[in-house]
A and B are shown apart, each in its own frame.
Chain A
Amino acid sequence: SQQGEEDPQALSIQEGENATMNCSYKTSINNLQWYRQNSGRGLVHLILIRSNEREKHSGRLRVTLDTSKKSSSLLITASRAADTASYFCATDARGGSYIPTFGRGTSLIVHP
């Protein structure tokens, strides 16, 4: 079963707009990660945020983590057509192995 679930399932925006994706999970975690996948290829690691962290930035990406609500969000600012992809969150359960369990993903389309 999926530990993390992304919302929305699909998102369509115009270039230059911001895109926000959310992830909710069920049990306490060690880490939460976000990945991007272009069109059936391999996943690309974007950001890892640890359970004791609240926010991380990487370029145009901002990830927040709220462990009290068991949720995370990924914000992509000033979106580009090249950001079109599926975005997945992955969590590993506290007290378990560090194997990440992936959600179903959010499909993002950025129109030029």
Chain B
Amino acid sequence: KAGVTQTPRYLIKTRGQQVTLSCSPISGHRSVSWYQQTPGQGLQFLFEYFSETQRNKGNFPGRFSGRQFSNSRSEMNVSTLELGDSALYLCASSLSDGYGYTFGSGTRLTVV
């Protein structure tokens, strides 16, 4: 079966711009989570969506937002980009609570 698909793979944006990243989970997985990975902070949890509702949220500013559609696909948006937002953004889907995550290959965002 198809894995978790993230698009685009690479992105270069300018400070102040906004960006939208997309994630298609494994078919049947209703939980989609987003993580930010940087060398300095490691893997940081952004938010989790389940059945189109944000169920959990990490400690990130309001510039980071997301949503989930009825087909479980998810998008995350970052507005007013800052240099520190440069990171690998990872999406993961899970069958249910207490199950392992399947990660996508990530979107590498560079803010210049």
Contact = CB atoms under 8 A, between A and B. Distances in A.
For the residues of B in contact with A, the DSSP-based class is: strand
Nearest to A97: B56
Interface stretch (B66-74, B77-85, B93-101): B93-101
B21 interface: no
B22 interface: no
A105 to B, nearest CB: 7
Contacts of A105: 42
A43 interface: yes
A12 interface: no
B105 interface: yes
B56 A104 contact: no
A36 B107 CA distance: 18
A64 interface: no
B25 interface: no
B26 to A, nearest CB: 12
B102 interface: yes
B54 to A, nearest CB: 12
Interface string A63-100: 00000000000000000000000001000100001111
Contact of A42 (B33, B90, B98): B90
B75 interface: no
Interface size grouping (class) on chain B: 20 to 34
Interface residues of A, number: 24
Contact of B99 (A44, A48, A97, A103): A48
Contacts of B103: 35, 42-45
A102 B45 CA distance: 9
B43 interface: yes
A46 B37 CA distance: 19
A90 B80 CA distance: 31
A45 B100 contact: yes
Contact of B102 (A45, A88, A97): A45
Interface of B: 4, 6, 33, 35, 42-43, 45, 48, 55-56, 88, 90, 92, 97-106, 108
17 contacts: A31-B98, A33-B100, A35-B101, A41-B105, A41-B106, A42-B103, A42-B104, A42-B105, A43-B103, A45-B100, A97-B55, A97-B97, A98-B97, A101-B45, A102-B43, A103-B42, A104-B42
